[in-house]
């Protein structure tokens, strides 16, 4: 049985049923529905051959070539799908809900599966995700100098009943030349959008949601432009933590990092620091003087922070005297309520 479903129905069912992505592996790697597992009808090479045949010879020869490639693998597809979904009920999609998912849906249905086929395919999912970035979310932006502990505060805000989304966690990057240290590989920008859009879908749109302040790019991934512009217009609370505490916090974190990794991070900002400061920072790393290295790096990042604040339209300063994330989360909420920001 083949049951065509909308993207809303598809995502609702995806909470319980396996999702099969019939696109080629490279397409899946570029971006995919979060719950989906790769179940390609063609390899990357086979997809390229069918595409070339379509361009050079037309529709019918391309279809015949696709069937030639699909036929010998049908038995294995059914066996694999049965392992994934012993109850024989799956969700399925390809790029646009066309021939690939249609062929796979026919095969699995013939083998006794109930197949929920996504209308419009992955393309419909992408449109749905991007729609989330145009909505008027009640965002509050948490800002502050590098080393203020903004990321550490987010989980405590959540414990206190606030909605939060950790952009750096989604991007697998801390947003600076040092941002990749200790982090997994970054997703593609497309997959980052999928992660962000999916996180937004889980929120109550009537309740405030806290985001850490970020630039339009986080490492190699880029924020959706419209969403980033909207964040610039939302209330921003700047936590002002004494520099001494910020230096101590960062030095403690980086003292466990391999020196060659730190050296590479300093070299990345050499043009901003200048030759002399860069050499002083490298010497500090060599001698294990992490506080000196951090102080030098912050001379650049603190200037960059002032530049990042300029486009914002609603800025509220909150001086804090501790780096303790739980205490600071409590003060943030009290401050936000007093100023009618949440």
| Alpha-carbon gap, residue 193 to 273, rounded angstroms | 32
pLDDT, residue 179, reads 67
Tell me the per-residue pLDDT of 86-118, one tens digit each, with 9 for 90 and over. Answer: 999 999 999 998 889 999 999 999 999 999 999
Question: Please, how many CA atoms are within 13 Å of residue 186, restricted to the half-sphere of its CB?
Answer: 20
Q: Which of 94, 117, 154, 293 is catalytic?
A: 94
Do 135-338 and 2-129 fall under one CATH topology?
A: no
Average pLDDT, the chain: 93
Give the model confidence (pLDDT) of 169-208 as tens digits: 999 998 776 767 778 999 999 999 999 999 999 999 999 9
Q: What is the pTM of this model?
A: 0.90
Question: What pLDDT, in 10s, does the model give residues 238-283?
Answer: 999 999 999 999 999 887 888 898 999 899 889 888 999 999 999 9
What is the percent of the chain where pLDDT is above 70? 99
Identify the CATH number of the domain defined by range 2-129.
Answer: 3.40.250.10
pLDDT computed for residue 74 by the predictor? 96
**Of 18-22, 48-52, 234-238, which range is least confident?**
48-52
> Is the pLDDT reported for residue 60 higher than 90?
no
**Helices of type H across the chain:** 7-13, 25-30, 44-57, 59-70, 74-84, 99-110, 121-131, 150-159, 167-171, 189-201, 225-233, 243-254, 259-268, 270-273, 275-287, 290-309, 325-338
pLDDT mean over 146-151: 92
The domain limits of the chain are 2-129, 135-338
Do 139 and 164 contact (CB within 8 A), yes or no? no
The class level of CATH for 135-338 reads alpha beta
94 assigned to active site: yes
pLDDT at res. 177: 65
């Amino acid at each position: 049985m083949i049951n065509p479903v909308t993207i809303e129905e598809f995502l609702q069912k995806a909470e319980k049923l396996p999702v099969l992505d019939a696109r080629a592996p490279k397409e899946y790697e570029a971006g995919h529905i979060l719950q989906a597992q790769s179940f390609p009808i063609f390899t990357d090479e086979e997809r390229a051959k069918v595409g070339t045949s379509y361009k050079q010879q037309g529709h019918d020869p391309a279809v015949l070539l696709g069937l030639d490639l699909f036929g010998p693998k049908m038995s294995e597809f059914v066996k694999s799908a049965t392992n994934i979904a012993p109850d024989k009920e799956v969700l399925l999609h390809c790029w646009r809900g066309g021939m690939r998912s249609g062929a796979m849906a026919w095969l699995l249905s013939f083998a006794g599966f109930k197949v929920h086929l996504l209308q419009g395919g992955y393309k419909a999912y992408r449109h749905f995700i991007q729609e989330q970035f145009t909505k008027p979310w009640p965002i509050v932006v948490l800002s502050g100098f590098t080393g203020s502990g903004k990321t550490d505060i987010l989980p405590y805000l959540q414990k206190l009943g606030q909605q939060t989304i950790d952009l750096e966690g989604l991007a697998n990057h801390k947003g600076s030349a040092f941002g990749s240290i200790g982090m997994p590989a970054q997703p593609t920008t497309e997959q980052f959008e999928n992660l962000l859009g999916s996180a937004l879908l889980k929120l109550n749109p009537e309740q405030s949601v806290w985001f850490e302040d970020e630039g339009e790019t986080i490492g190699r991934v880029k924020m959706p432009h419209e969403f980033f512009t909207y964040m610039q217009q939302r209330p921003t609370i700047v936590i002002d933590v004494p520099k001494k505490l910020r230096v101590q916090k960062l030095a403690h974190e980086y003292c466990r990092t391999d020196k060659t990794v730190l050296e590479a991070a300093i070299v990345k900002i050499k043009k901003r620091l200048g030759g002399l400061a860069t050499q002083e920072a490298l010497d500090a790393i060599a001698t294990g003087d992490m506080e000196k290295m951090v102080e030098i790096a912050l001379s650049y990042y603190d200037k960059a922070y002032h530049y990042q604040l300029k486009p914002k339209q609603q800025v509220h300063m909150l001086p804090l005297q501790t780096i303790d994330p739980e205490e600071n989360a409590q003060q943030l909420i009290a401050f936000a309520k007093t100023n009618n920001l949440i």
